[in-house]
Amino acid sequence: MEINNAKYVISNVDVDKCPQGNAPEYAFIGRSNVGKSSLINMLTRRKALAKTSQIPGKTLLINHFSINDGEWNIVDLPGYGFAARGKKQREEIDRIIRSYILRREQLTCLFVLLDVRHKPQKVDMDFLRWLGENGVPFAIIFTKADKLSKTAVSANVDFYRKELLKEWEELPPVFITSSEKKTGREELLGFIDDTNAAVREQCGETEDSEN
Ligand code: GTP
Ligand code: MG
């Protein structure tokens, strides 16, 4: 699959005000500064579709982008667990994220981003556990692979897999990416394409509709 066009639609804090329609939706989440917005720009080949920043806490809203004339949606979410934000704002962001994840029916897969340089962190493990408890479909995306050697990337990913297998019977899909080097783009778009096809099949649609 290729992304032919990507359009910013709307930003809001209220899941009830998110766009209507039944286009499959893929949301990107993870700690602040992990590279969510950069990855969205890499996938869509746009420099500044999603706003990025070196300072953590840039994305504070649920941001909707429409892909290929409404075929599917990308959602850029705020980062979780950002200490410098202060307790009140952190709780508010947490509430926005969690209500979006639990109530958004169009959410087809949540991509949880993890910085490949870091060892598993409690805030991420807690978040993944919460997804499991709530039956949220998700996949893991390791980011910033350009910042380590190939060997170090494999070692860190293997370590992560082992840690996850202590708690989980099976692993979700795992992707290794670099927005800087455009690594992992085809694999991710391929996964989204396959998932979209599965959704269409589930909805009983055929490829050639009434035209
Ligand atoms: P918040 O919206 O604040 O939660 O952050 P975010 O997860 O959207 O991160 P963002 O995409 O804004 O990127 C944060 C910083 O990491 C920026 O300085 C990016 O340039 C940098 N960055 C993101 N992805 C990569 C990558 O693959 N490689 C490298 N080297 N830097 C990256
Ligand atoms: Mg962001």
Residue 58 counted as domain residue: yes
Q: How many separate domains does the chain show?
A: 1
CATH number of the CATH domain containing 129: 3.40.50.300
Residue 207 counted as domain residue: no
Q: Whose CA is nearest to atom 26 of ligand 1?
A: 144
Distance 101 CA to ligand 1 centre (A): 22
Residue 32 counted as domain residue: yes
Distance 207 CA to ligand 2 centre (A): 34
pLDDT digits (tens, 9 = 90+) for 121-133: 999 999 999 999 9
Contact 23, 64 (CB under 8 A): no
Domain extent for 38: 6-202
Residue 13 counted as domain residue: yes
Residue 1 counted as domain residue: no
Higher pLDDT, 101 or 90: 101
Ligand in closest contact with the CA of 63: 2
For residue 192, pLDDT beyond 90? yes
User: Could you tell me if the CB of 183 is within 6 A of ligand 1?
Assistant: no
For residue 210, pLDDT beyond 80? no
**pTM tops 0.85, yes or no:** yes
Ligand in closest contact with the CA of 30: 1
For residue 204, pLDDT beyond 80? no
pLDDT digits (tens, 9 = 90+) for 25-66: 999 999 989 999 999 999 999 999 988 887 777 677 899 999
